[in-house]
A and B are shown apart, each in its own frame.
Chain A
Amino acid sequence: MIDFIRSLGRWGLDTLQRLGSGHLFLWYMVKGIPEVLLRFSLVIQQLQSVGVRSVMIILVSGLFVGMVLGLQGYNTLVDFGAEESLGVLVSLSLVRELGPVVCALLFAGRAGSALTAEIGLMKSTEQLTGMEMMAVDPIRRIITPRFVAGIISMPLLAAIFSAVGIFGGFIVGYGLLGVDDGAFWSQMQVKTDWYDDVLNGVIKSVVFGVVVTWIALFEGYDASPTSEGVGRATTRTVVHSAFAILGLDFVLTALMFGGI
């Protein structure tokens, strides 16, 4: 019995400690941002590996998500004779929810896991310690540029995802199913609001960008310096990011659209 309570206590303390060091880590990263903005070439390098290399998966999955939305939406809407609303359905579901959320999940899988593995390996091969020996702050030199790059890439990727998805919905709706293209675009424009829908989606994607990159970098930095530890950290990144994205999405949706 005592052992059980003791293990519960240890688990609680460990969790608290990790949470605490995670937030300290975030604070150090944020503190380094002004300096990194002055040396922007570091961020550009990271934008290449975090953002540009994720474009392909975002393009392809965005297109297919949009096409599936078009097909499924059409099947339901045609029963009510409302297939002209297909544009509204596709654009609202992409811009409000699927764009930021699916894009963030893909981003966590594609870029987040790579970041964790990279940082974790740097740690296990003692490159980070080496930098510290040379009086270079590894957080400012290695971590913060990646953090900034993640925050910049995520909204851009989500916007690309939504735009491509709407185009995919249009291809299926107009090309395959014969929905009137004028009604498709005009209804979409009437019902999709710039502030309430598009900008809130962008805000969501920025929040997801911060959270996913933060989790990925912290897991990498906190990984136990063995190959097994790095592997576990990478898994944790993807799992925790998915939890954080879906949970935060509920909170953000309730805040943004709950009153409507």
Chain B
Amino acid sequence: MQKRNTEITVGMFVAAGIVAIFVLAMKVSNFTDFTDDAGYEVVAEFGNIGGLKVRSPVTMAGVRVGRVSNISLDGSTYNAKVTLSLYSQFNTLPTDTSASIFTAGLLGEQYIALEAGAEDEFLKNGDVLHLTQPALVLEQIIGQFLFSKAEGE
């Protein structure tokens, strides 16, 4: 009887621990992102990506449609080559979709916002987004502002 009780309490303890790890995976972390099917990948080139990072969100109309899976530098054009991994359920994006890098809030993290174009054909795996808008760098804007102010005087 004593042994049986021990086994029951130990079983409950192990179950509680596993439930806790499960909660951390499902409720707290982005584990569900990984269980999604891989979807498809498209590439976009930017003149400047600012503070964009791998795993930054990709949104369309504010809805999350994917994430940044890779960032590299194109050796010939000196542009940043960003690979976007999009969820397969969003497979009806036109080929002339444009990508811009925005900042969430004034000091928030940077993300890529997609805006649909008007083409009839849809983006496929490995396609390239040609219409891109680089990240706004605060120092550049301030610099331009000061420059134009000085010119005006």
Contact = CB atoms under 8 A, between A and B. Distances in A.
A114 interface: no
- Interface size, A (range): 20 to 34
Contacts of A189: 27-30, 32
Interface in B1-28: 3, 6-7, 9-10, 12-14, 16-21, 23-25, 27-28
B66 interface: no
A188 B24 CA distance: 11
Given A91-B28, A95-B28, A166-B28, A48 B10 contact: yes
B59 to A, nearest CB: 11
The interface residues of chain B, by DSSP majority, are classed as helix
Contact of A194 (B6, B20, B34, B57): B34
- Interface size, B (range): 20 to 34
B29 A192 contact: yes
B13 A198 contact: no
The interface residues of chain A, by DSSP majority, are classed as helix
Contacts of A194: 25, 29-31, 33-34
B31 to A, nearest CB: 4
Interface in B109-132: none
A62 B102 CA distance: 38
A52 B17 contact: no
A102 interface: no
A51 to B, nearest CB: 5
A190 B16 contact: no
Nearest to B15: A156
A156 B22 CA distance: 11
Contacts of B19: 163
A160 interface: yes
Contacts of A153: 13
A55 B17 CA distance: 10
A61 to B, nearest CB: 15
Given A159-B24, A160-B17, A192 B30 contact: yes
A157 interface: yes
A212 B56 CA distance: 38
A156 B7 contact: no
Interface of A: 41, 44-45, 47-48, 51-52, 55, 80, 91, 95, 152-153, 155-157, 159-160, 162-164, 166, 185, 188-190, 192-194, 197-198, 202
Instruction: Return the 4 tightest CB-CB contacts between A and B, nearest first.
Output: A156-B17, A159-B20, A163-B20, A194-B31
19 contacts: A44-B7, A44-B10, A91-B28, A95-B28, A153-B13, A155-B21, A156-B14, A156-B17, A159-B17, A160-B16, A162-B28, A163-B19, A190-B57, A193-B55, A194-B29, A197-B29, A198-B21, A198-B24, A198-B31
